[in-house]
Structures are given as structure tokens and as C-alpha cells.
Amino acid sequence: FCCGMDLKEAIPAMTAGDSLGYDDPTKRQFSDVFKPIIAAVNGQGIAGGLETLLHTDLRIAAEHARFGIPEVKRGLFAAGGGTRLPARIPLQMALELGLTGDPIGAQRAYDLGVVNRVVPAAELLSAARALAATIAANGPLAVRATKELMWGEIGESDTAAHGQWAARVFACDDAREGAIAFAE
């Protein structure tokens, strides 16, 4: 999947005191992508790879996949989002991953809620496509509103945004047609 930054290439910038763009802990990758992002992990999600994975919406992993934030083993810390892991899994488990730097397997990642599903490698892409098709069958405006509001809940709640989305979604044709179809 991804093993993060090339540390050999980063050494000159680190030596010069550069924060490598990790100076804003609230910055979220893919924040300008309004369609759901489904990750299909067929390998390792290590360091920046796991942090990138944490910014996706849904995650499917092959049984052999491994995940970890080993930055402490290199005298670094998981600055690309790994330190926000306690917002998603129990604190003690996030601390174990972050403080030991040891990776976990796909099943353990599933048990912790880091990935949504674990499937045999041969079924990975078809499982991701099936999940995408299920989402694509829903109202696009409703999907976008749900994604943006749920990601917003990880940070601070924004009641104004919630109200704006409610006004847009409940007035759209998809919502009206969906309600009529359900009633019929």
C-alpha cells in the first residue's frame, strides 16, 4: 500500500530544521475530495502509509496486510495524523502502536476499527468495487453531506454546517423521490 516518506530524501530538510509540512496538526488529506474514498490495502500501511489510510473514508484490507506507525523507532513521531489515532481507537491501543512502533496485522486492525473489512487478497478489488457500488446507489448530495458532517464531528461540531446541509438535502429531488418510494 504505502510505507510513507523516503527518509533518505528527507535527511537534508530535517537537518535544516524543516518541519516537512507537518506543522499543522489539523490539516486533513483529501479534505477537498467530496466523493467517498475507499482504500484497498494489499500490503503494508506503515508510517505515512497508515496516516494516509486514516484520512480515507472506508478501508478494506487483504488478510496479509500490516499496519503501524514506527516513527519512534527512527527518533520521529507520527506527525501526519498518527497522533490523532486515539480519536478512532482506544487510547491504550493507540499508545501501544505509537510508543512501541510495532506493526499489527489486518485482523487486529479490523478488531480495533482501523479497517472496515478483511478479505482474501484475490477478493480485495472486487470487495472495494462492491462497496463503492453500494454507496453510488445512494443520493449523491446525501452521501456528500454525510461524509462532510461525519468528518467534521471528528473535530469540533459545527451546527451551522449541519443546518445548511439539512436545508440542501431535504429540499433536493433525491430526498423527495426517496421518501415517496419508501412510502409507496
pLDDT tens digits, residue range 32-56?
778 999 999 999 999 989 989 998 9
Residue scoring higher pLDDT (92 or 24): 92
Sequence-distant (≥ 6) Cβ neighbours of residue 23 within 8 angstroms: none
User: Which residue in 9, 51, 156, 184 is the catalytic one?
Assistant: 51
User: Which residue in 9, 63, 71, 123 is the catalytic one?
Assistant: 71
Range of weakest confidence among 54-58, 63-67, 116-120, 173-177: 173-177
- 123 carries an active-site annotation: no
pLDDT tens-digit readout, 52-72: 999 899 999 999 999 999 989
- 96 carries an active-site annotation: no
pTM over 0.85: no
Predicted pLDDT of residue 148: 87
Which grid cell sits at 130? 462492491
Q: How confident is the model at residue 183 (pLDDT cuts 50, 70, 90)?
A: confident
Beta-sheet pairing, 58-62 with 117-119: parallel
Which grid cell sits at 145? 453531506
Q: Give the whole-angstrom CA distance, residue 160 versus residue 97.
A: 36
